[in-house]
Amino acid sequence: MSPDRNLLVFAGFNGAMAVALGAFAAHGAAPAVKTLLTTGGQYQMVHAVLAVALALWRGGGRLARLAGWLASAGGLIFCLALAMIGLLSLPVMGAVAPIGGVMMIAGWCLVVAAALKSAPNNA
């Protein structure tokens, strides 16, 4: 199976955004906002890297691709929710952040499922 180009592009944009938010958090954000941006950026970056790995995993199949999309979209939603809380003073976005969190957790669970499915049967 060939790499998922769309997932790679999406993950690349996520990674770039995570770096930009991290830089802003380190150099231009108020202390209260810095924590939110740093946390969101870290989660977004980890899940962007996961998405790249899953997009390139030849033996992962559909489950791995779905895991990559869930993880990277979840990271984006989580990060944007935290950024909106901090930068735009929208505390209602605190209700949106867990949606991204659930998507990231689901992505990791699908990584497990894809790994178990792709593993050779040793029985």
User: For 58-99, what is each residue's pLDDT tens digit?
Assistant: 889 999 999 999 999 999 999 999 999 999 999 999 999 999
User: For 23-33, what is each residue's pLDDT tens digit?
Assistant: 999 999 999 89
Say whether 28 sits in a helix, a strand or coil: coil
In angstroms, the CA 66 to CA 68 distance is 5
pTM, rounded to two decimals? 0.91
What is the model's pLDDT at position 123? 44
Residue pair 37/90 in contact by the 8 Å Cβ criterion: no
Residue pair 76/14 in contact by the 8 Å Cβ criterion: yes
Other Cβ atoms closer than 10 A to 104 = 23
What is the model's pLDDT at position 32? 86
The CA angle 69-92-105, to the nearest 5 degrees, is 30
